[in-house]
Structure 1
């Protein structure tokens, strides 16, 4: 993955917006939606992927329809806040399947972790494995989602310029 960020033009922004709405579009359909030729579209998508702008393409599942029940939002405070201690905690959390997101935050707790588990016993097992059994974890405060009003994965991009004929 390249560390040089390419300049994003209007076509790049249209492609990224379209893919954020539906990453399963065929190249032909994507090209039609963004008003570009299929070869140009494919070349742009490959460039954006190589540059690390497009990180991966996934399917977003309806967890309620699947009966996957409990979303836990956890605030974690560490005893020692050094770069090495932060890295060790992050390494532990990213290995855990139930952890969907892990953010280092400031001010307040050191981390906010979003996890999805089947039920309360599964949460307790996760909390023990990842939080309370760790010597450097000072405090864990967990909130359980009772209703999800919005869930989106889109990055906020600048609006492409509207071209007038």
Structure 2
């Protein structure tokens, strides 16, 4: 009798624990800010694609390329700053040096007032050996779900390695 009661109590605890874990994972993965951030990071660390390559010879096409990929996710002020300083940084350097980059994995964690991210990026010559780098950073969103600040903390030598 005691054995059955203990077993039922143990089984109930396990079920509650599993239900609690799955709920927290689901709510984090459905966070629209995390979805937006992952999209921006995948765009920034994957390429160059054909549309980008065509845009390197036509500024209007390049502006449209960036607007389509990034503008929906940023405040207007931050979008302009991002495009002027950061958006092209990795893909353009890779393109100019005959290399490609591709996102392998994106991890995002919500903190009190921001999100931190870690992106594993594969890079190298198109048909050559590939290496990986881990880019870390921090992002803030406003109440409308638009990025107000994105800061890269460490790119694990990715910028330098793409330039060589």
Structure 1-normalised TM-score?
Answer: 0.23
More helix by percentage: 2
More strand by percentage: 2
